[in-house]
Structure 1
């Protein structure tokens, strides 16, 4: 199997995003590679101090997650936290970097696997292949 050297996984910390992370860990090459986890905190033009505190908490959570995964998986994982309009910030980040693969998790509150508008927009405008992980996974196809 060909492995990738640059993978992006936008995450909202949902179960579907966790499935995407697990798949990304299996698809990333063991050496000279980087898996990037990106979280976009939805914020408007005037960030309130509460938003900044929440973003700092998310940054620490993301750093801790990436460090834990790096230690257990022995792979380079880069955490990125941005603020702004989710789809637009994800697309700007994709355009500014040379990713070979983007893995998105469908987060529909566990109801179904219908991709939302963010996923549809990213698929339509991304400059790299996009893989979509289902939120609801059939037991015979579970990601481990």
Structure 2
């Protein structure tokens, strides 16, 4: 059973990432955790705590985000890509995005994070905000980034960019191996060398592995 975390800001880009994930993992038994991080409430809480105002507690509970998250789950249930292998769990957190995602990854033993992007600039404009670049580089979890308006096509060839300087253990490669097996896909290792030099001994060992 795979555990998949999908952060959402309730935008259409975020919804596209959800539908993409449903199709991408259609052959796998999965728990999908649909996470909305309410960063605005964190800022309000910090501002009001300094003035000893406890009314923030009730406003957090009554946040309209909870209703939007419930509506998202209902929309998923009506999706034509729904599978009986999938289970869905709404998660709300009043926190900073990076901290919240790290917490969910640890507590729920997340295998994949799926996130949507806006526009051609990629990592800097993700559906959950500008912190997503940090999620990809600073959260120890495999992350699938879905470009804006991307439509799912079963992968038949997977590019694996590498300079062979990092040794990939079995645990690191397992998520990609699962995707390859599920889709009967081929993998192509892509190495780009700016200079016409041979691989060093360590790089050659990694390549052979």
Paired residues of 1:9 and 1:21 also in contact (CA < 8 A) = yes
Which of 134, 139, 149 is equivalent to 1:126? 139
Determine helix, strand or coil for the equivalent of 2:115: strand
- 2:111 corresponds to 1:100: yes
Distance in 2 between the 1:13 and 1:68 partners?
11
Paired residues of 1:7 and 1:102 also in contact (CA < 8 A) = yes
- 2:70 corresponds to 1:63: yes
In the alignment of these two chains, the number of paired residues is 133
Distance in 2 between the 1:123 and 1:31 partners?
23
Question: What is the CA-CA distance between 1:106 and the residue it aligns to?
Answer: 1.7
Question: What is the CA-CA distance between 1:131 and the residue it aligns to?
Answer: 0.9
Larger Rg: 2
Question: What is the CA-CA distance between 1:80 and the residue it aligns to?
Answer: 0.5
Distance in 2 between the 1:142 and 1:10 partners?
19
Q: Which residue of 2 aligns with 1:27?
A: 24
From the superposition, tell whether residues 37 and 79 of structure 1 become closer, same or farther in structure 2 (CA, over 3 Å).
same
Q: For the aligned residues, what is the CA RMSD?
A: 2.7
Which of 151, 156, 159 is equivalent to 1:142? 151
Determine helix, strand or coil for the equivalent of 1:76: strand
Paired residues of 1:5 and 1:29 also in contact (CA < 8 A) = no
Q: TM-score, normalised by structure 2?
A: 0.54
Structure 1 runs, 4 residues or longer, greater than 6 Å off: none
Paired residues of 1:40 and 1:81 also in contact (CA < 8 A) = yes
1:35-114 alignment, distance < 5 Å: 35-42=32-39, 43-44=42-43, 45-46=45-46, 48=56, 51-52=59-60, 55=63, 57-72=64-79, 73-74=82-83, 75-107=86-118, 111-114=119-122
Give unpaired runs (5+ residues) of structure 2: 49-55, 125-129, 154-209
Distance in 2 between the 1:120 and 1:77 partners?
26
Give unpaired runs (5+ residues) of structure 1: none
Paired residues of 2:24 and 2:152 also in contact (CA < 8 A) = no
Greater mean deviation of Cα atoms: 29-38 or 86-95: 29-38
Q: TM-score, normalised by structure 1?
A: 0.75
